[in-house]
Amino acid sequence: MNKNVLSVNHTFSAAYPDGFHEMTPVELKKFFRSDAHRCGIYDKDRHVIWNVCWVRPILFGLLTTERSVLRGAEMRLELSLQQYCLLERLNREIMGLPAVGIRFAYKVTDTDIIQQSDLYVFQYGKRYYAVQIIGRAENFAQDQQLMEDFLHSMTASA
Residues in the chain: 158
Q: What is the pLDDT of residues 60-78, one digit of tens each?
A: 556 789 999 999 999 999 9
Amino acid 63: pLDDT: 74
**Helix ranges restricted to H, 6-109:** 25-32, 66-80
In angstroms, rounded to a whole number, what is the distance separating the alpha carbons of residues 66 and 113? 30
Q: Residue 23 forms beta bridges with which residues?
A: none
Amino acid 37: pLDDT: 94
Task: Report yes or no: 13 and 157 within 8 Å, Cβ to Cβ.
Answer: yes
C-alpha angle with apex 116: 134 to 99, nearest 5 degrees?
70
Tell me if residue 129 falls in helix, strand or coil: strand
In this prediction, residues 121-135 reach a mean pLDDT of 94
Amino acid 2: pLDDT: 57
In this prediction, residues 118-142 reach a mean pLDDT of 94
How many other CB atoms are found less than 10 A from the CB of residue 131? Answer: 24
Amino acid 1: pLDDT: 46
Q: Which domains does the chain have, with CATH numbers?
A: 4-153 (3.40.1000.10)
